[in-house]
């Protein structure tokens, strides 16, 4: 999101502050977009003791960083979520007006029953306290879907402005290639992304059953998913951290993209699939209700294995339906889901905050 917005607002000078994490190193390719890039060390260290020490010292770290940002006298600050506490530790201390982009609540604290064990830990409770305090300190909050805005209001009592995300229709395009009898699921290798549900649905289909491919950029759920697929006699391929061009090619060649994440805050994968004219089947939940129009540019079903499996079978076995949904999806990506519109929405919020 940050890269797509900054690329489309070159008239502003952007300065980037990131923590010293492996994720921050992935941003090296974006350096050309920023006038400067400051990498700051994180307190604490490895292991459980290091985690707790980091959590205890985060407010001090946030105060110091906010002071450094304010000293640069920016017009406004766009604050992105924190890997540690969700709403970042600089928000209570910034004197410069800020807009906090909140893509979701702190799910480890609020998403039962998926995270019941995590919610019981003192570490999660500390994250929860700091997250709640920090988000209330933001001058403005933005998010990417009405679904997430409603959750933020319910959990925190905070009203967020909705600025929908977009898709790059120039990099994600249809291709004149033969599509495979395959179901593709895209998202982190984490139970919350619903890959196991997709496997269960495909396993109920009649032979010849389609294969399943999962593309994930992070997470540790791969071995468990492989074992589950083997037990069901299903062929599963897992691709980790492949280049973006390879992801595009898989979208272009697959028969259908399955979107089954639990409580998905927005969902970029259906938009990416639609941009490549690939039909989408999604659970009728969360942000999917805003990105997919049922039986227009995709199919939505209840979270029931038989219903979801039947929708997958409809698309795979009916080439005319697949072409109709794919064509409508491409048209929607071009007209309704522009990164330019996202950038303009972010810009308006930043200017209004000054």
* Residue 98 host element (H or E): strand 98-101
DSSP 8-state symbol, 80: P
Beta-carbon contacts of 167 under 8 Å, excluding residues fewer than 6 positions away, are: 268, 271, 272, 274, 275, 333, 337, 339
Tell me whether strands 280-283 and 256-259 are parallel, antiparallel or unpaired: parallel
Residue 43: what pLDDT?
72
Residue 122: what pLDDT?
82
Q: Of 5, 171, 170, 143, whose CA–CA distance to 87 is shortest?
A: 143
* Residue 340 host element (H or E): helix 339-353
State whether the Cα torsion 107-109-110-111 is positive or negative: positive
Return the HEC string of 150-211: HHHHHHHCCCCEECCCCCCCCCCCCCCCCCCCEEEEECCECHHHCHHHHHHHHHCCCCCCCE
Q: Is the peptide bond before 113 cis (omega within 30 degrees of 0)?
A: yes
Structure tokens at 336: 């309704």
Residue 31: what pLDDT?
77
- How many Å separate Cα 231 from the centre of its chain? 30
Residue 166 and residue 318: Cα distance in Å, rounded?
A: 29
Residue 121: what pLDDT?
76
Beta-carbon contacts of 244 under 8 Å, excluding residues fewer than 6 positions away, are: 171
Residue 310: what pLDDT?
98
* Residue 79 host element (H or E): strand 77-79
Beta-carbon contacts of 193 under 8 Å, excluding residues fewer than 6 positions away, are: 185, 187, 216, 219, 260, 261, 262
Residue 91 and residue 58: Cα distance in Å, rounded?
A: 12
Give SS3 for 82.
strand
Residue 172: what pLDDT?
96
Buried-exposed string 29-53: b where 16+ CB fall within 10 A, e elsewhere = ebeebbeebeeeebebeeeeeebee
Q: Which residues pair with 165 in a beta bridge?
A: none
Q: Of 349, 343, 351, whose CA–CA distance to 6 is shortest?
A: 343
Residue 298: what pLDDT?
97
Cα radius of gyration (the chain): 21
Q: Which residues pair with 236 in a beta bridge?
A: 212
**pLDDT less than 50: residues of the chain:** 22
Buried-exposed string 138-159: b where 16+ CB fall within 10 A, e elsewhere = bbbbbbbbebbbebbeeebebe
Contact in structure between 347 and 163 (CB atoms under 8 Å)? no
Q: Of 176, 213, 203, whose CA–CA distance to 323 is shortest?
A: 176
- Show the domains of the chain with their CATH numbers: 2-166+339-353 (3.40.50.2000), 182-336 (3.40.50.2000)
């Amino acid at each position: 999101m940050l890269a797509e917005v900054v690329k489309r607002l070159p008239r502003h000078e952007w300065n980037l502050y990131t923590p010293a994490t492996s994720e921050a190193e992935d941003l090296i390719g974006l350096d050309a977009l920023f006038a400067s890039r400051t990498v700051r060390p994180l307190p604490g260290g490895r292991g459980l003791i290091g985690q707790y020490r980091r959590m205890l010292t985060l407010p001090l770290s946030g105060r110091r960083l906010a002071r450094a940002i304010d000293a640069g006298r920016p017009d406004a600050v766009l604050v992105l979520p924190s890997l540690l506490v969700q709403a970042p530790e600089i928000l209570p201390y910034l004197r410069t007006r800020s807009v906090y982009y909140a893509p979701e609540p702190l799910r480890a604290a609020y998403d039962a029953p998926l995270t019941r064990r995590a919610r019981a830990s003192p570490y999660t409770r500390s994250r929860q306290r700091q997250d709640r305090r920090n988000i209330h300190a933001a001058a403005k909050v933005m998010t990417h879907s009405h679904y997430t805005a409603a959750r933020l209001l319910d959990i925190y009592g905070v009203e967020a402005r909705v600025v929908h995300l977009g898709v790059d229709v120039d990099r994600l395009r249809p291709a004149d290639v033969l599509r495979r009898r395959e179901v593709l699921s895209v998202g982190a290798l984490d139970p919350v992304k619903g890959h196991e549900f997709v496997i269960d649905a495909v396993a109920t289909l009649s032979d010849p059953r389609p294969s399943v491919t999962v593309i994930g950029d992070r997470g540790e759920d791969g071995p468990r998913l492989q074992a589950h697929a083997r037990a069901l006699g299903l062929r599963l391929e897992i691709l980790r951290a492949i280049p973006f061009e390879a992801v595009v090619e898989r979208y272009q060649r697959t028969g259908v993209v399955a979107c089954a994440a639990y409580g998905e805050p927005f969902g970029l994968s259906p938009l990416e699939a639609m941009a490549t004219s690939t039909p989408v089947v999604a659970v009728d939940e969360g942000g999917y209700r805003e990105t997919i129009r049922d039986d227009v540019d995709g199919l939505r079903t209840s979270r029931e294995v038989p219903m979801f499996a039947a929708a997958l079978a409809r698309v795979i076995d009916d080439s005319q339906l697949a072409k109709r949904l794919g064509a409508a999806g491409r048209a929607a990506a071009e007209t309704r889901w522009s990164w330019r519109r996202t950038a303009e929405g972010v810009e308006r919020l930043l200017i209004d905050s000054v």
